[in-house]
């Protein structure tokens, strides 16, 4: 990388994309993480943060643009911290995500992944759950990048058009969550005052402590012909096509057989559990979730599956205390962004023939794949999906198999 110093801001040649929504450049030998740039570009940057190990910067002038650069569709691009890739073409975004997944797997798991991130739907109007912050003037908005400052926003281009219009009133609270379900139910989660005009457009208002303030606190989500009850702001995928996409990928990877004993770990409201229970019947399905509300939702959603058992406990505790038995045929896990960590060894100790790992962070996934490799499990396949367009987030479904196992 070369750099040229100008009077106000330096000019750098931009290198590869990195995990986190920025690209890597070098300035006088020091690493610079540059936002709003693309690999191969020459840009003028403004330094926004200095540390002993690296710099952070924004690209403020594009001198030599990438062919994948486009005009951002959002007027708040570059100021709002919600999106990373507004300036990247529809074809270029999954390519960047592919580079990130490949780099993380190569660096942390020593795996040469030759697949590509798959696009799912369009770039805008997809986010069905959105937490708004409130500015000091009472207007709803989103935080600036790496800042507590709230930028009032009257129109978010990635927001689903069916979301409640929280921007239409002045708020007396600091946080409002807006939700629209796949069945077009609309919900607000807030402790603030909801004006009559806005309240008339939603099906329910819920406080952050889950107290029902108006209407209903439960949403119905539909996936592959099945209904799921989800309470308040309980976890659910935010892209309209995410649930169907991930269920299909998990079932394809797991290849569950009748009579299998299956564990669904970090099961949430039971999305995967419901379909896994159908596939393994009359075998047992254990749906394990640490969040009390989500576990209660899962119990309701699995009520018609006689072979399904819901367990409310942190996954690590359930594994370490032997609550899940001493063996399993299939283990599916969808851990939080930090990954499975200490649960890896306990999962491997169950000696499942297949482990299906759903991950929202490729770095945590790659680290855990390396840990599973030390315990006799290798990566058989991996699919990745661009379920968060305009952002650096990517969802992966990895299949791990035990060395020497006879796959059926």
Half-sphere exposure of 264 (CA within 13 A, CB side): 32
First and final CA of the chain: distance in angstroms? 50
Please compute Rg for the chain using Cα positions: 23
CA torsion through residues 174, 180, 130, 274, sign: positive
Query: What tokens does 305 get?
Result: 């599956």
Query: What tokens does 79 get?
Result: 């100021």
Contact 25, 45 (CB under 8 A): yes
Query: What tokens does 268 get?
Result: 């949430």
The DSSP result for 341-366, as a single string, is: TTHHHHHHHT--SEEEEEES-HHHHH
User: How many residues are present in the chain?
Assistant: 408
- DSSP label at residue 167: G
d(CA 269, CA 230): 7
* Cis before 164 (ω within 30): no
C-alpha distances out from residue 101 to 93, 184, 360, 362, 380, Å: 13, 34, 11, 6, 16
List CB contacts of 67: < 8 A, sequence separation 6 or more.
none
List CB contacts of 394: < 8 A, sequence separation 6 or more.
97, 100, 101, 117, 360, 362, 384, 385, 386, 387, 388
- Dihedral angle of Cα 236, 240, 245, 248, to the nearest 10 degrees: 70
Active-site residue identified among 74, 156, 280, 360: 360
Do the bridges between strand 330-333 and strand 262-265 make them parallel or antiparallel, or are there none, so unpaired? parallel
Is 80 catalytic? The answer is: no
d(CA 255, CA 82): 37
Coil, helix or strand for 304? coil
List CB contacts of 350: < 8 A, sequence separation 6 or more.
263, 324, 325, 326, 327, 328, 331
Active-site residues, by number, are 360
């Amino acid at each position: 990388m070369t750099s040229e110093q100008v009077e106000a801001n330096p000019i750098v040649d931009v290198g590869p994309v990195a995990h986190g929504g920025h690209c890597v450049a070098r300035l006088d030998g020091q690493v610079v993480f540059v936002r709003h740039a693309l690999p191969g570009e020459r840009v003028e940057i403004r330094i926004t943060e200095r540390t002993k190990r690296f710099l952070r910067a924004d690209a403020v002038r594009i001198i030599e643009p990438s062919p994948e650069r486009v005009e951002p569709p959002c007027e708040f691009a570059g100021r709002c911290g919600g999106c990373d890739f507004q300036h990247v073409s529809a074809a270029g975004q999954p390519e960047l995500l592919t580079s990130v997944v490949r780099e993380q797997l190569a660096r942390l798991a020593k795996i040469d992944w030759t697949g590509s991130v798959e696009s799912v739907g369009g770039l805008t109007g997809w986010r069905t759950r959105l937490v708004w912050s409130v500015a000091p003037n009472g207007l709803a908005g989103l935080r600036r990048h790496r800042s507590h400052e709230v930028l009032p926003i009257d129109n978010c281009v990635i927001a689903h058009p069916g979301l409640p219009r929280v921007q239409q009133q002045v708020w007396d609270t600091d946080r409002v969550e807006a939700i629209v379900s796949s069945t077009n139910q609309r919900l607000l989660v807030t402790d603030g005052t909801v004006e009559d005009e806005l309240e008339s457009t939603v099906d329910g208002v819920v406080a952050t402590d889950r107290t029902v303030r108006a209407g209903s606190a439960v949403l119905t989500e539909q996936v592959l012909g099945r209904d799921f009850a989800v309470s308040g702001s309980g976890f659910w995928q935010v892209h309209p096509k995410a649930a169907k996409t991930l269920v299909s990928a998990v079932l394809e990877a797991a290849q569950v057989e009748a009579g299998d004993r299956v564990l669904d770990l970090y099961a949430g409201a039971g999305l995967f559990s419901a379909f896994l229970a159908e596939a393994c019947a009359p075998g047992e399905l254990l749906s394990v979730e640490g969040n009390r509300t989500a576990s209660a939702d899962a119990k309701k959603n699995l009520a018609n599956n006689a072979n399904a058992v819901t367990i409310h406990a942190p996954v690590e505790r359930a594994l370490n205390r032997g609550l899940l038995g001493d063996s399993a045929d299939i283990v599916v896990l969808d851990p939080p962004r930090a990954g499975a960590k200490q649960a890896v060894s306990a999962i491997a100790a169950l000696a499942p023939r297949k482990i299906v790992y759903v991950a929202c962070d490729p770095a945590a996934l790659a680290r855990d794949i390396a840990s599973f490799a030390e315990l006799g499990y290798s990566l058989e396949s991996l699919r990745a999906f661009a379920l968060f367009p305009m952002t650096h987030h990517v969802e992966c479904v990895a299949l791990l198999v035990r060395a020497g196992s006879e796959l059926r």
